[in-house]
Amino acid sequence: MNLLNVVILAAGKGTRMYSAKPKVLHALAGRPLLQHVLDCAISLQPQKVCVVYGHGGETVPLAMRQYAAQFVIQEPQLGTGHAVQQAMPYLADDSQTLVLYGDVPLIQHQTLHQMQQLGDGLTLLTVKLANPAGYGRIVRDKQGDVIGIVEEKDASAEQREITEVNTGILLAPTRQLRDWLSRLRTDNVQGEYYLTDIVSMAVEAGVSVHTVQPANEWEIHGINSKSQLAVLERSWQRVLADRLLAQGVTLADPARLDVRGSLECGRDVEIDVGCIFEGEVRLGDDVQIGAYCVIRNASLAQGTQIAPYSHLDGSIVGSACRIGPYARLRPGTRLHDDVHIGNFVEVKNSEISQSSKANHLSYIGDTTIGRRVNIGAGTITCNYDGAYKHRTVIEDDVFIGSDTQLVAPVTVARGATIGAGSTITRDTPEGELTLSRSKQLTISGWKRPVKKSISK
């Protein structure tokens, strides 16, 4: 197989997006459109990837700086042929060049690999559409061989009846592509250099023109408006849902699921409606996710249950844990097995050991909690002094009474009990009851104030 270059055209302004952001940086399934294309391109192991950008200036290469790609500016934008010309100085002749588009985000590896298998010649990715409006038509002779592509604005009435259309994605020998591009002209309705004009040049040169069709129509759908982006988002989310269903995941409603990253599921996982998964999420066997949860960059071990409306971010959760409803786990949280985090409890940068519980209305930040600890309702770890964060340590078998403030840095020793309503500012002894309260008083004869009536 010949060495491969990939050229990604990403210079379009995206006028119909009505946004200051370059079109290719708008997100689909949680990632910029261009990132989808780059990931697919890199999966082909090319020797060179060139991204041709324009509108938005350096925001495009800056946003994609994690990729080892050559970013080439197209200024001004004079059509697709002109865009590919900008990349040619960076491409070796003894190779093939694959042209992709930064606003066609869902092209799949298998489709592009199939194009590579056809060997030498010019290979076009085409598709037959029930409604081909807006696309260039594939023109064939009586023998069925491709003889050219005509853009819709330049097409005759008869040619507009053709349903096989050009996707714009093509694979060509780099040496010949360089020659064809040098001979492009602007004698068309748009006054631009059309990349599609190289097809007729290939035919004239006796170069074989092959066509490949994608397995799925959504692979070639481009984005020109927020409406198209929304439609493709739902199409792609349904694809991801179907893949999860095929793996044995139970989805309460496949149409109400959003995966904005990668979601890895074990056996017998159940996911209720309205859940959002972002970044890298791993769900172990028998995990249950309640309705309207948001889970980002998290790992949940076997048998853990997340009740509705809970948010987990940057957290590691052990097996058989019970989280929520309305719980929030923030980055740096690690829960061991059989931990309970209840309603309106927030945990941040803390480790909670096996069989400990915080079931109601508490904040646990920068804390290390041992085994079998009970955190009473309304407990707060006061970890920030206005300049620095400090750590709280709660050892095994501690009972923290409700409405307690633990002012860090502080250690509650093994087996200690903290009386409800206490403010703890010093380390507490092992196995003892510690509390800090004002003495309860009753003031005899006290009268509650009442408003005085104002006479008119």
- What does the block give as tokens for 58? 């350096």
CA 281 to chain centre: 11
DSSP structure class, residue 349: S
Q: Under a CB-based contact definition with an 8 Å cutoff, are residues 275 and 284 in contact?
A: no
**Nearest alpha-carbon partner for 353 in 388, 305, 318, 329:** 318
Q: Under a CB-based contact definition with an 8 Å cutoff, are residues 7 and 88 in contact?
A: no
| Alpha-carbon gap, residue 207 to 186, rounded angstroms | 23
Of the candidates 113, 311, 336, 360, the residue annotated as catalytic is 360
| Alpha-carbon gap, residue 317 to 352, rounded angstroms | 10
Report DSSP letters for 159-209, one per residue: GGG--EEEEEEEEEEHHHHHHHHHT----STT-S--GGGHHHHHHHTT--E
109: annotated active-site residue: no
CA 84 to chain centre: 29
Maximum CA extent, the chain: 109
CA 71 to chain centre: 23
- How many Cβ atoms from other residues are within 10 Å of residue 254's Cβ? 16
CA 90 to chain centre: 31
- Alpha-helical runs (H) found in 33-130: 33-42, 59-63, 80-87, 109-116
At a CB cut-off of 8 Å and minimum separation 6, what does 235 contact?
218, 221
Just list the catalytic residues.
Answer: 360
